[in-house]
Structure 1
Amino acid sequence: MPPLFNPRLVNDPAGDPGLFVPFFYEKRALLIDTGDLSALSARDILKITHVFITHTHMDHFIGFDRILRICLGRNKVLHTFGPEGFIEKMAARLSAYTWNLVENYQNPLRITATEIRKNELVSCIFDCSSRFVPQDYATRHLQSRTIHAEPAFSVDAAILDHDIACMGYAIKERFSVNIRREILQEMGFAPGPWLYAFKQALYAESDPESLFEIPRQYAPKNAQTRFSIGELTDRLAVVTKGHKIAYITDAAGHEQNTEKIISLAMDADHLFIEAAFLDEDRNLARRKKHLTAAAAGRIAARAGARRFTLFHFSPRYSENRDRVEQEARKAWKTAGTGEPFNRFPSR
């Protein structure tokens, strides 16, 4: 069975940063950064439940208006996160529009905005029916890097330096449920969304004696379709370590940032990491507070990432992207072992 989510870059590696994280077998997705989102369909955007903003530079935040426009008039709660000052930025964004008729909408959109500070999370609500005036402020002490948690997965964050606070994020399954395909075949059941529902029951720590019913359309004629969770787990499931993805962009390449990134991305199955400049332009990278391709490769190796994908290339390398990728690959090989490199991932 595949992992819970299936991440992909929103744009070409030289385009605006953004990571779309749809869930398998569920009409749901997470999104990290909202640059140019024209590559995402309205259907994709309507799946989004949580948006994680690294910082509010234009190329990371300009696409939020597209989300707002598509979700407006729908009965939806959109959860957003960003660095300290994010609530003020969100309020300014929403107050730029006139909302004199929205209180009449039958389906009001609600946006929760949470800013991530060193030791606390500060949240408020922007409700369509109240013309998106911020209300219901709340503060929660932050005891770990985890800023959001559900039964199936959690999201961790680290505050990085880009001359301003810039967030790095990691998303991790609690555990992964692998289905014994040969046993499934022996039992005569066809795979389908019911396997996802079964996995959710395990995440929710359902009573092993509780019953789980496999929909009749996936079962052989006259076959038993009701099993206890415990029996079905013993027969079908192999529980292993959960899948982890990490996303790093717009981070100065100094040691303090590097150590924070490595800690956040440690043992990631897939690390998405910026490679804004070549090492020959490292002085420019230093001034602009970005990572070089060589730094990205070394970080991926030191974090033990099983696979990494580069993005956020400077336009100056539009004619020789191979050099960016080759530099990262060389740095990886020097610092570690293996071939986790993912070349030009398809959208």
Structure 2
Amino acid sequence: MRTTLDPHLIDPSANEPGLVVELRDARRALLFDLGEIDRLAPRVLLRASHAFVTHTHMDHFAGFDHWLMLAMGRVPRLVVWGGPRFVDQLDHKLRAYTWNVVHRYEVPLRIEAHSLEADGSRRHAVFDSRHGFGRSEETADPPHGSDVLVDEALFRVRACIVDHEMPVLAFAIEEKAQLRVAADRVRAMGLGTGPWLANLKAAVLANAPDDTPIELAWRDRDGEHVARRPVGELRALVLDAVAGRRIGYVTDLRFTEPNAEQLSRLLSDVDLLYIEARFLDVERDQAARKNHLTARQAGEWARRLRARRVVPFHFSPRYRGGEDELRAEVFAAWGGAPHASAITSP
């Protein structure tokens, strides 16, 4: 079944970190890490509503400036999540620039920054172009049991903190249940398919009241059509729900049992696991010094998580041209069959 989330590595060679998850039919995207995001087409970056940053090493965060530069004057809102003290770090980055003209932009930009702190609390702040990206609307939430950062009708994003000799976030991207539409019933009602079906699915998943109106618009050989029907009348068009996919994004962490336990709580039975494989296992001492995983260790954790598909990435530059050896070591330890997307990004 065609799914809502379309993930692929930002760097097709899989050497640099970063994942983009496009939301099919929604003209939206989510970014995981902000490294060399200039590899992405501007149209994709302008659709990115949220970014989730594992940590603020340059190769994971330096691309924020490129995203911001594209967004200014074009989009009204960006949401950014990071680990401990991330709100402060984003504040410092914004203060490094002079903002004497941004308040004049026809489309003001509101940056909503959030940090998951080490004790499980969250901090929030807003940086608004109308006020020179000065910090405002600061709030904080006390520690609580939930690991959910964002929860929307189509997806949720969860996170945990792992150790890289500094706190790093690992992420789970979870697609909500998918609904199939009976195309023959759509035709029988004299309607045509279009973006309105996504609105209907969202209303059904949210258990919207039967009198909730749905705006219908579609085009066929007879021209353009516009109508309005209540959810109760359209509900019969929707068939069974199918469980959505779960995607993991894991990079920059030590091979330790506490890290493995954190990932097990977040990502057990994950459908698609993106996991770093920085070094070959013969260099595990070097990996330990650098606080990274070897390819074999990545595969062992993928097996422990019972991952259904695995895509290794974030290879050390010393393996340029020899990435297939790293992939082979991951797959041998995982014990699964490599998917084509693990060799050429999905």
TM-score scaled by structure 1?
0.90
Tell me the SS of whatever aligns to 2:179: strand
1: distance between equivalents of 2:160 and 2:180? 30
CA distance in 1, matches of 2:150, 2:81: 10
Q: Paired residue for 1:243, among 218, 242, 245?
A: 245
Contact 1:180 1:238 in 2 (8 A): no
Q: Residue 110 of structure 1 corresponds to which residue in structure 2? A: 110
CA distance in 2, matches of 1:312, 1:58: 14
Cα separation, 2, equivalents of 1:338 and 1:344: 12
Q: How far is 1:267 from its partner?
A: 2.3
The residue number in structure 2 matching 1:12 is 12
Secondary structure, counterpart of 2:342 in structure 1: coil
Q: Report the CA distance between 1:214 and its aligned residue.
A: 4.3
Give the match's secondary structure for 1:68.
helix
Report what 1:262 is aligned to: 264
8 Å CA contact retained: 2:196, 2:214? no
The residue number in structure 2 matching 1:285 is 287
3-state secondary structure, aligned to 1:295? helix
What are the equivalent positions in structure 2 for 1:158-237 lying under 5 Å apart?
158-180=160-182, 191-212=193-214, 214-217=216-219, 228-230=230-232, 232-237=234-239
Which has the larger displacement, 249-258 or 69-78? 69-78
Residue 130 of structure 1: how far off its partner (Å): 1.3
> For residue 132 of structure 1, what is the aligned residue in structure 2?
133
The question of whether the paired residues in 2 share the 8 Å contact of 1:263 and 1:303 is answered with: no
Q: Distance in 2 between matches of 1:29 and 1:317?
A: 30
Residues 181 and 346 (structure 1 numbering): CA distance in 2 closer, same or farther, change over 3 Å? farther
Q: Report the equivalent of 1:41.
A: 41
SS in 1 for 2:199: helix
The RMSD of aligned alpha carbons is 2.5
Aligned length, in residue pairs: 343
| Preserved CA contact (<8 Å) 1:307 1:342 | no
1:31 aligns with 2:67: no
Unaligned runs of 5+ in 1: none
SS at match of 2:315: coil
- 2:124 counterpart residue number: 123
For the residue of structure 2 that corresponds to 1:215, the secondary structure is strand
Q: 1:216/1:24 Cα in 2 relative to 1: closer, same or farther (>3 Å)?
A: closer
C-alpha distance in structure 2 between counterparts of 1:271 and 1:212, whole Å: 36
Contact 1:307–1:341 (8 Å) recurs in 2:
no
Q: Deviation at 1:318?
A: 1.3
Unaligned runs of 5+ in 2: none
Structure 1 residues 306-321: aligned runs within 5 Å: 306-321=308-323
Task: For residue 7 of structure 1, give the secondary structure of its aligned residue in structure 2.
Answer: strand
TM-superposed deviation, 1:266: 1.8
Distance 1:233 1:345 in 2: 40
Change (3 A) 1:187 1:345: farther
CA shift at 1:28, angstroms? 1.1
In the superposition, the TM-score normalised over structure 2's length comes to 0.90
Cα offset for 1:144? 1.0
- 1:343 is aligned to 2:342: yes
| Cα distance, 1:101 vs structure 2 | 1.9
Q: Which is further off, 100-109 or 33-42? A: 100-109
Match of 1:52 in 2: 52
Secondary structure of residue in 2 paired with 1:238? strand
Distance 1:81 1:179 in 2: 34
Are the counterparts in 2 of residues 152 and 203 from structure 1 also a CA contact under 8 Å? no
Give 1:189 shift: 5.7
Partner of 1:295: 297
Sequence identity (%): 36
1:247-293 per-residue CA deviation (whole Å, 9 max, x = no partner) reads 00001111111121122122222111111111111111111111111
SS at match of 1:26: coil
Letter in 2 for 1:134: R
Q: Does 1:150 align with 2:149?
A: no
Q: Quote how far apart the aligned CAs of 1:231 are.
A: 5.4
What amino acid does structure 2 have at the position aligned with 1:51?
A
- Name the CA distance, whole Å, in 2 between partners of 1:218 and 1:195: 15
Find the residue that maps to 1:253 and give its secondary structure.
Answer: coil
- Residue 152 of structure 1: CA displacement? 2.5
Aligned equivalents of 1:233, 1:218: Cα separation in 2 = 22
**Secondary structure at the counterpart of residue 5 of structure 2:** coil
- Asked if structure 2 preserves the Cα contact closer than 8 Å seen for 1:2 and 1:178, the reply is no
Change (3 A) 1:315 1:147: same
